Chains A and B, each alone.
Chain A
């Protein structure tokens, strides 16, 4: 009996990983495209969970996720009411909301319920294991972050943006190599950064001095640009394609379709461009495999030669935009540098709620 159960589990599990539910992916694509084209109300929360649900074969626990988000939203409202922000510009109300989100994400908060019982709301932590979702793709997900309270530079800023949307303020996502962070704008400080992995407000020099961002990439808005809401949905479209590729069998055309749509609204989105060049590379391989040969013969067939030429042009463009690859092992060193060189890179002007207890 036990054996059968194990076997059943095994079958269902492997099926889960192998074949994507194309219907769910198609629906997700439609939904996100409609948001971009203005045919549907733009909601970052909906976009993110639609993508996660597609990967999870429709098994996303929406009740749990919504309850958690509602709780965090209420917590943020409570914090705004109970704490005082030392900030005196016209946009105090909005900046208080930003500050409350930061507390929700990165501070320990004491909560007293109706029965006078005291709870502690703990900060969300950075998960140093599997930063890129190599072992388990769910490690990138907001739903996983809500369940385990551990996340990475993908899920943490995403959750922040979702909560911002819930309490009615704008939070801009911003990109760096293999990284996402938050940008806000206030009357007092203009644009400033919120870094959720280490929970500080770094100045731009931290990213600029990393050595992995070419100055042209900043000039061209590839990195360090406050993304609009539509550009954020474009990010979700690429997430959708990346999730889709995690299944063992998939359709390259769908991947390209997602990336193309993303580029329509965020033309300098490097990840979308990379996705296309990779997919085209695989297309060449498939064609050559069909002809019973390999990559060494790529120039012998007009159809593969043509695709290869496209890939070359794409790569030139990617390089010109200022993209340089950042080795994964360097990424963590760099991320940690923020923690150890806090004094050098911290923006000391940002006002946050002072902890009352």
Chain B
């Protein structure tokens, strides 16, 4: 999966601390003058009133009299009123300016539709939206997504041919090994072997080497095509996005049931045998893993499990949502954020409202849109005090509220940002003795089951 811009976003949220109209409105407390209650008048105060006929002291000329005091107070009052008036005038002026600005400006992000290359994305989005979420071809969807990035320079026939050939290869190998072609377990085993072992068809002199994990730029920061199945097929090395994706495509081809499952920054394969036992396949290094290993990443909160955002086999609908989110990320890597991204994210959220990745894309969009709008009115989003000035612009305030609400939702889902270093460390842990042993144990059980099918 890919990194988010959470750090960037938290900054914004941090900056809005003192905004008085945030999502949880903190209305400034105004001291309302209380109506004096009878008990508030203490009897003594009566004696403090100046006596009407008290003789004036001649020295008052030099030391100030009640009269001078009165004038001083009056002046102060006048100054205060003038200041208040000036303040009101400024506020009105700012409001007038804001009204004018709002009339003339669209605070939304500008469209990028005029940029060459975006048209392929628009076309691809129409195709993806037209797919049946409950029954679609992962192969087709993947091709559409990658080909949009390649500006339709790839041939579907070629892609399809490789998939079909590989499918035939797998079927023949199953036959050679004597695997039951009608059972889910052997089908997934042959797929797993295809990814992690060397497979040979001696009769036809065909040989397939295991796929390698590509450690270089595995989040596609420099080169987004690192995420693609095309790249995996071409180079024989891939990462946690392309490897499971190809697995799903090939599973579709040979009629195996397999599911994608997510964990922080990561995806892997889940499948079940005929007795409903579930297995986790980690394709980045070709191992079986236990749920406990996935949990040990340290970035899975209990809320994430309660909401089913991680470690659950994705339904067809959820998978399409995930693919569409991938598609949106491809666009943002190439062109940045535009209203088109929002449209795509909304579609992904419609299919799977709790998708962590779709929600992240949406909050990135909202944040960037807000920052852009704030800059248009000449307010520095990094300056807390300056940020208060957005109060004259209801549409921008609304944007901030939306952004905050989206953040709240992500927290509710139990999402937590996992830094790249932590992710790498977790993947490295797979090489620990305990995980290796778990892998061997599961393989052994797996083989016992498999042998039952052979007989």
A188 touches B300 (CB 8 A): no
Contacts of A185 in B (CB 8 A): 411
A15 at the B interface (CB under 8 A): no
The secondary-structure label for the interface of chain B is loop
Partner among A187, A203, A211 whose Cβ is within 8 Å of the Cβ of B292: A211
A224 touches B22 (CB 8 A): no
Partner among B24, B311, B411 whose Cβ is within 8 Å of the Cβ of A90: B24
Partner among B10, B22, B298, B414 whose Cβ is within 8 Å of the Cβ of A191: B414
Contacts of A174 in B (CB 8 A): 302
Minimum C-beta distance from B312 to chain A (A): 8
B89 at the A interface (CB under 8 A): no
Interface size on B, residues (CB 8 A): 28
B292 touches A218 (CB 8 A): no
A329 at the B interface (CB under 8 A): no
Interface size on A, residues (CB 8 A): 27
Minimum C-beta distance from B388 to chain A (A): 14
B10 touches A205 (CB 8 A): no
Minimum C-beta distance from A84 to chain B (A): 15
Minimum C-beta distance from A100 to chain B (A): 20
Stretch in B11-19, B241-249, B374-382, B445-453 with 4+ CB within 8 Å of A: B11-19
- Enumerate A196-211 residues with CB–CB distance to B below 8 Å: 203-205, 207-209, 211
B17 touches A89 (CB 8 A): yes
B296 at the A interface (CB under 8 A): yes
A225 at the B interface (CB under 8 A): yes
B296 touches A191 (CB 8 A): no
**Nearest CB in chain B to that of A344: its residue:** B298
Contacts of B410 in A (CB 8 A): 190
A215 touches B291 (CB 8 A): yes
The secondary-structure label for the interface of chain A is loop
**Are A188 and B305 CB-contacts (below 8 A) given A90-B24, A208-B292?**
no
Please report the C-alpha to C-alpha distance between residue A221 and residue B22 in the assembled complex, in whole angstroms.
Answer: 31
A204 touches B301 (CB 8 A): yes
Minimum C-beta distance from B255 to chain A (A): 29
Contacts of B414 in A (CB 8 A): 190-191
Please report the C-alpha to C-alpha distance between residue A211 and residue B290 in the assembled complex, in whole angstroms.
Answer: 12
Contacts of A257 in B (CB 8 A): none
Please report the C-alpha to C-alpha distance between residue A218 and residue B307 in the assembled complex, in whole angstroms.
Answer: 10
A219 at the B interface (CB under 8 A): yes
- Enumerate B284-305 residues with CB–CB distance to A below 8 Å: 291-292, 295-298, 300-303, 305
Partner among A89, A205, A220, A221 whose Cβ is within 8 Å of the Cβ of B300: A205
**Nearest CB in chain A to that of B16: its residue:** A90
Contacts of B298 in A (CB 8 A): 203, 205
Please report the C-alpha to C-alpha distance between residue A203 and residue B304 in the assembled complex, in whole angstroms.
Answer: 13
Partner among B22, B306, B411 whose Cβ is within 8 Å of the Cβ of A225: B306
Minimum C-beta distance from A227 to chain B (A): 12
A209 touches B296 (CB 8 A): yes
**Nearest CB in chain A to that of B306: its residue:** A221
B214 at the A interface (CB under 8 A): no
B308 at the A interface (CB under 8 A): yes
B416 at the A interface (CB under 8 A): yes
Minimum C-beta distance from B413 to chain A (A): 9
Please report the C-alpha to C-alpha distance between residue A174 and residue B306 in the assembled complex, in whole angstroms.
Answer: 14
A88 at the B interface (CB under 8 A): yes
B26 at the A interface (CB under 8 A): yes
Contacts of A91 in B (CB 8 A): 24
Please report the C-alpha to C-alpha distance between residue A224 and residue B17 in the assembled complex, in whole angstroms.
Answer: 30
Minimum C-beta distance from B409 to chain A (A): 11
Contacts of A88 in B (CB 8 A): 14, 17
**Are A191 and B300 CB-contacts (below 8 A) given A208-B292, A215-B291, A215-B295?**
no
Minimum C-beta distance from A81 to chain B (A): 18
**Nearest CB in chain A to that of B19: its residue:** A90
Contacts of B19 in A (CB 8 A): 90
A92 at the B interface (CB under 8 A): yes
B305 touches A187 (CB 8 A): no
Minimum C-beta distance from B101 to chain A (A): 27
Partner among B14, B26, B292, B295 whose Cβ is within 8 Å of the Cβ of A89: B14
Please report the C-alpha to C-alpha distance between residue A208 and residue B295 in the assembled complex, in whole angstroms.
Answer: 7
**Are A190 and B301 CB-contacts (below 8 A) given A205-B296, A209-B292, A218-B306?**
yes
**Nearest CB in chain A to that of B411: its residue:** A190
**Nearest CB in chain A to that of B15: its residue:** A88
B295 touches A191 (CB 8 A): no
Binary contact track B230-260/A, C-beta < 8 Å → 1, others 0: 0000000000000000000000000000000
Please report the C-alpha to C-alpha distance between residue A91 and residue B296 in the assembled complex, in whole angstroms.
Answer: 30
Please report the C-alpha to C-alpha distance between residue A208 and residue B414 in the assembled complex, in whole angstroms.
Answer: 15
Partner among A191, A209, A215 whose Cβ is within 8 Å of the Cβ of B411: A191
Contacts of A226 in B (CB 8 A): 303
Please report the C-alpha to C-alpha distance between residue A185 and residue B311 in the assembled complex, in whole angstroms.
Answer: 23
* A-B CB contact pairs (8 Å), 12 listed: A90-B24, A90-B26, A190-B410, A190-B415, A190-B416, A191-B303, A191-B411, A203-B298, A205-B297, A208-B302, A211-B292, A224-B302
Give B contacts to A, CB under 8 Å: 10, 13-14, 16-17, 19, 22, 24, 26, 291-292, 295-298, 300-303, 305-306, 308, 311, 410-411, 414-416
